[in-house]
Amino acid sequence: MRIVFAGTPDFAVPCLRAAAQRNEVAAVYTQPDRPAGRGRELTPSPVKREALLRGIEVVQPENFRSIVSKDALRALQPDLMVVVAYGLILPQSVLDIPTYGCWNVHASLLPRWRGAAPIQRAIEAGDSESGVCLMQMEKGLDTGPVLLSQALAIGAGETGGQLHDRLAALGAQVLADGLGLLRAGIRPVPVPQPEEGVTYAHKLDKAEARLDWNQSATRLAAKVRAFNPWPMAEAVVAGERLRLHGAVALDEAPAATPGTLLRASRDGLDVACADGVLRIRTLQRDGGKAITAADYLNGRPELRNA
């Protein structure tokens, strides 16, 4: 089949590889190069780098509003357009161009967690499972019928980064299954999403990574996992702002005001919350790297057994 692929971040790279395995990828669409790093140099997306390595033409429109951009896509004569975390809204006039329309690989079990950050929101909410849906795209935000899906369990201590990598691999597998069916002349049956159970995974904001000790320890521990590696949870502990890489909730009644450091030992820094106690195991000081609580206390021995 002749495929046009649209994607931008690391999550989409395994799917690009799956699409290129037994099909012709006529072009790859990805977002324009963005400034990154301390030097703010223009940096290509992970999908662009993968496409260039494979010798695939790369197209980087700002949007699909112009007739020129739509005509350029139409000229590629795609059988199918595969969209994975592209970051641009596709109007209906674009969705109608490929023979079989546009397929989207989405990292949740729809209709739960439609939107921009389904992986992190699932962990933050304490979900026990996540998964991938291969969806026939329509004009609404992640509202299209599901063609194929695969679920997986979320590990008890799994971070956003770890779940991201597992779902990226699963997404490539589900996409490969769907493409295999289409090559064999079998169109996956579109199943409309149920109206019940719709939730939205709003885009992550750095501001929400600041922990509020007036929340429960269970909720805060979930946030620490969800926001690792980005935007990374942060909090003020014993007068110092720290970035939290790893923490667990302790089921005990705190006998102090939320935010109070109750204990400091090699096992972690135990901070009182509105409900329960958060034990910080791995952390990062300003300008430093991730270290264990034990290493942190070597630099702040006055906190031991606070």
Q: For residue 73, say whether it is annotated as part of any ligand binding site.
A: no
Q: Give the chain's length.
A: 306
Backbone angles phi, psi at 17, to 5 degrees: -60, -40
**Quick one: tokens of 256?**
């102090």
Determine the distance from the C-alpha atom of residue 116 to the mean position of all C-alpha atoms in its chain, rounded to a whole number: 8
Q: Are 178 and 148 in contact (CB under 8 A)?
A: yes
Q: Are 205 and 226 in contact (CB under 8 A)?
A: no
Q: Are 190 and 147 in contact (CB under 8 A)?
A: yes
Q: For residue 108, say whether it is annotated as part of any ligand binding site.
A: yes
**How many other CB atoms are found less than 10 A from the CB of residue 32?**
12
Q: For residue 111, say whether it is annotated as part of any ligand binding site.
A: yes
Q: Is the dihedral of CA 41, 55, 74, 80 positive or negative?
A: negative
Q: For residue 109, say whether it is annotated as part of any ligand binding site.
A: yes
Could you tell me which residues are annotated as the binding site?
Answer: 108-111
Binding-site entries for (6S)-5,6,7,8-tetrahydrofolate: 108-111
